[in-house]
């Protein structure tokens, strides 16, 4: 296939690009590098440093020249907390950007595999990020129904693994704990630590996304998780470090757990890598 990956210089996107290249697909990446890193991008993929919301006519020329079979749309302003500070930019990129990508897919007859978010299950109106990602799902369904564009939605559950961010507002909790462990700092736990998350290795996500790209869809939603969750306290205990508790952050869900029956039935999706094994291997490598 010819595959376009928006956000392909980021954590999940770059892992997806690596696998697509490994499988022999032709891959282009669109990323503005606001949170991604050009050094994450596989050298056998073509990187275009560009925004999904700027200069739409130029993007139209680019996509017609490449003529992809599928667009994996992962570019977004991710994470809940930053969205409270700048809801307008979050909406611009996550909503208008998704409109743009679906419109471009319509132009060239490409499928769209859209990165949604499991934060939907805590309530789409709990924070601006969750709301805008849900709106992106609705845009995909609109383009399937009105314009006959094949679209599929993947809801990710707390992804961790290689290249996960460890610093700044977009860091994952596993990434934060790894940084703190290396720096011999206490692990910071928000709230009481009893909130539970379905931690999912990025390799599981990548396999699910690629399977979604193989068929035609009409906005169906696929959960990509493990069907098992851990509390933040349980995660912290795996590192065997001192911990400190900090205030609860607004917009946080108490509980996430992927229901996988539909993904298993329709995609043959299965989760393999586990949080326990990952942390144990990481600790062994970082003694």
50/47 Cα distance (integer angstroms):
9
**pLDDT score at 252:** 86
The residue count for the chain:
287
> Across the chain, where does the E strand assignment appear?
2-6, 26-31, 46-49, 70-73, 111-117, 151-156, 159-160, 187-190, 196-197, 200-201, 218-224, 230-231, 243-246
**Residues 77-119: tens digit of each pLDDT:** 988 888 999 999 999 999 999 999 999 999 999 999 999 999 9
Q: What are phi and psi of 93, to 5 degrees?
A: -75, -45
Does this model's pTM top 0.85? My answer is yes
| Percent helix, percent strand, percent coil in the chain, to nearest 5 | 45, 20, 35
Per-residue pLDDT at 193: 97
Predicted confidence at residue 29, as pLDDT, reads 98
Q: How confident is the model at residue 192 (pLDDT cuts 50, 70, 90)?
A: very high
pLDDT tens for 244-265 read 999 998 888 899 999 999 999 9
Percentage of the chain beyond pLDDT 90 is 95
SS3 label, residue 187:
strand
Average pLDDT, the chain: 97
> What CATH class is the domain 2-159+201-225?
alpha beta
Domain boundaries, the chain: 2-159+201-225
Residue 249: the pLDDT is 86
Q: CB within 8 A of 143, min separation 6: which ones? A: 102, 103, 105, 106, 112, 149, 151
């Amino acid at each position: 296939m010819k595959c376009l990956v928006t956000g392909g210089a980021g954590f999940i996107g770059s892992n997806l690009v690596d696998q697509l290249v490994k499988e022999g697909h032709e891959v282009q990446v669109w990323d503005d590098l606001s949170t991604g890193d050009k050094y994450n991008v596989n050298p056998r993929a073509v990187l275009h440093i560009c925004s999904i919301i700027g200069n739409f006519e130029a993007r139209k020329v680019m996509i017609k020249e490449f003529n992809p079979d599928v667009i994996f749309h992962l570019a977004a302003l991710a994470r809940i907390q930053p969205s409270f500070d700048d809801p307008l930019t979050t909406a611009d990129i996550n909503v208008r950007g998704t409109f743009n990508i679906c419109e471009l897919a319509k132009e060239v007859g490409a499928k769209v595999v859209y990165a949604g978010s499991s934060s939907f299950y805590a309530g789409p109106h709990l924070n601006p990020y969750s709301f805008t990602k849900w709106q992106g799902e609705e845009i995909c369904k609109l383009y399937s129904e009105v314009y006959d564009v094949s679209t599929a939605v993947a809801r990710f559950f707390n992804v961790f693994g290689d290249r996960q961010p460890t610093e700044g507002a977009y860091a994952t909790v596993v990434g934060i704990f790894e940084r703190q462990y290396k720096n011999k700092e206490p692990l910071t736990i928000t709230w009481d630590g009893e909130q539970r998350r379905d931690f999912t290795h990025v390799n599981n996500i990548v396999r699910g996304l690629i399977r979604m790209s193989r068929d035609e869809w009409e906005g169906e939603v696929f959960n990509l998780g493990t069907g098992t969750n851990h509390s933040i306290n349980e995660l912290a205990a795996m590192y065997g470090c001192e911990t400190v508790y900090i205030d609860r952050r607004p917009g946080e869900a108490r509980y996430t757990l992927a229901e996988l029956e539909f993904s298993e039935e329709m995609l043959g999706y299965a989760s393999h890598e586990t949080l326990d094994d990952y942390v144990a291997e990481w600790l062994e490598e970082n003694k």
